[in-house]
């Protein structure tokens, strides 16, 4: 197969932990060819198919110079067997426009994973609200009075922006309500922006679990991101410690309920975030943790993913 990875600059990859790199490595091991580009390399001219300026690359196996450029070219996206949209968040206006270009490429005949329309329709924090049976007490609002009422009811709460990533902008407010007004004003920009408020889940001490779902089926191991010291956030980007472990019965219940639904919408790879027994996010843009799980358990998540990709293309 000829595969195109739309991702961040290759030079920025930390290959010892990068999931997109793990996908590329497994794809090349199976004999598939690899090209890459960034979202800004995609173009659409009147009367033509959506195209991109791409780099053809070969992985070298060398940790220092891990890829070799084999040349640049402009090519219609429909010429690839599969396009993997792996651009990291934030989901900003440029990401939004990229999904429209990729959706047009689909109309040209391209196969895009995850499906661009599904990326657009599943904002990673808001998407959990479709599945109330699996989430804790949660409120989405821009109204300060609503937030105060929620805090009065639940006492210990978490506030976070809807477009945050890597634990950025997450605040905890305890029963004393200290700084609730100031935090609300910061996050909602004086009523101009919506935010999410959730009851604090003390099970965070055992980790914010990343449960991967590939082709609608749960991977048997998850990565628990455990907060360190006095930190409330388990995100690896915020200093959390990643510990791989078998998924629990509740993790499997959530994944098996959501997996077929999300897969049916064109989401080949999903990362569910679970704290205790509660679903807290549905990650669809560029779910990670493949290498951490493999390194600690031997479960080859990249192989499971390429298996699912090959099956999707054949199907």
Q: Which of 196, 198, 222 is nearest to 274 (CA)?
A: 222
Check if the beta carbon of residue 135 is closer than 8 Å to that of residue 279.
Answer: yes
Listing DSSP states for 23-92 in one string gives HHHHHHHTT-EEEEE-GGGEE--TTS--EEEEEEEEE-S-SSS-EEEEEEEEEEGGGSSEEEE-PPSP--
Check if the beta carbon of residue 77 is closer than 8 Å to that of residue 131.
Answer: no
**Helix (H/G/I), strand (E/B), else coil: 218:** strand
Those residues whose C-beta lies under 8 Å from the C-beta of residue 241, and which sit 6 or more positions away, are: 225, 226, 228
CA atoms of 116 and 106, how far apart (whole Å): 9
C-beta neighbour count of 53 within 10 angstroms: 14
Check if the beta carbon of residue 82 is closer than 8 Å to that of residue 313.
Answer: yes
Q: Which of 147, 236, 239 is nearest to 196 (CA)?
A: 147
- Catalytic residue list: 125, 160, 210, 225, 233, 273, 281, 283
Place of tokens 């661009």: 116
Angle in degrees, 0-180, between the axes of helices 301-314 and 19-29, rounded to the nearest 10:
60
**Helix (H/G/I), strand (E/B), else coil: 274:** strand
CA distances from 272 to 185, 258, 278, 296 (A): 29, 9, 10, 19
The bridge status of strand 195-199 relative to strand 157-161 is antiparallel
């Amino acid at each position: 197969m000829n595969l195109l990875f739309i991702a961040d600059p290759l030079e920025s990859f930390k290959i010892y932990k990068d999931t997109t790199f793990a996908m590329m490595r497994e794809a090349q091991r199976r004999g598939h060819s690899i090209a890459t580009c960034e979202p800004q390399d995609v173009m659409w001219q009147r009367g033509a198919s959506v195209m991109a300026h791409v780099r053809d690359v070969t992985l070298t196996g060398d940790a220092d110079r891990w890829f070799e450029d084999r040349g640049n070219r402009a090519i219609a996206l429909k010429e690839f067997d599969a396009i993997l949209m792996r651009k990291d968040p934030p989901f900003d206006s440029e990401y939004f426009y990229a999904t429209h270009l990729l959706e047009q490429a689909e109309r040209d005949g391209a196969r895009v994973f995850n499906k661009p329309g599904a990326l657009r329709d599943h904002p990673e924090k808001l998407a959990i609200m479709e599945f109330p049976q699996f989430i804790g007490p949660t409120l989405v609002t821009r109204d300060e009075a609503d937030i105060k009422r929620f805090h009065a009811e639940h006492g210990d709460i978490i506030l976070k922006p809807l477009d945050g990533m890597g634990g950025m902008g997450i605040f905890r407010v305890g029963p004393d309500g200290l700084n609730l007004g100031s935090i609300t004003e910061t996050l909602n920009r004086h009523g101009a922006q919506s935010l999410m408020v959730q009851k604090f889940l003390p099970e965070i001490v055992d980790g914010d679990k990343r449960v991967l779902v590939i082709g609608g089926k749960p991977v048997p191991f998850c990565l628990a991101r455990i907060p360190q010291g006095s930190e409330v956030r388990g995100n690896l980007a915020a200093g959390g410690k990643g510990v791989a472990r078998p998924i629990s019965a509740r993790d499997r219940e959530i994944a098996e309920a959501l997996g077929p639904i999300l897969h049916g919408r064109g989401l080949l790879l999903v990362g569910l975030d679970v704290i205790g027994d509660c679903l807290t996010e549905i990650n669809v843009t560029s779910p990670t943790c493949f290498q951490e799980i493999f390194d600690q358990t031997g479960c080859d998540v990249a192989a499971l993913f390429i298996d699912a990709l090959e099956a999707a293309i054949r199907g």
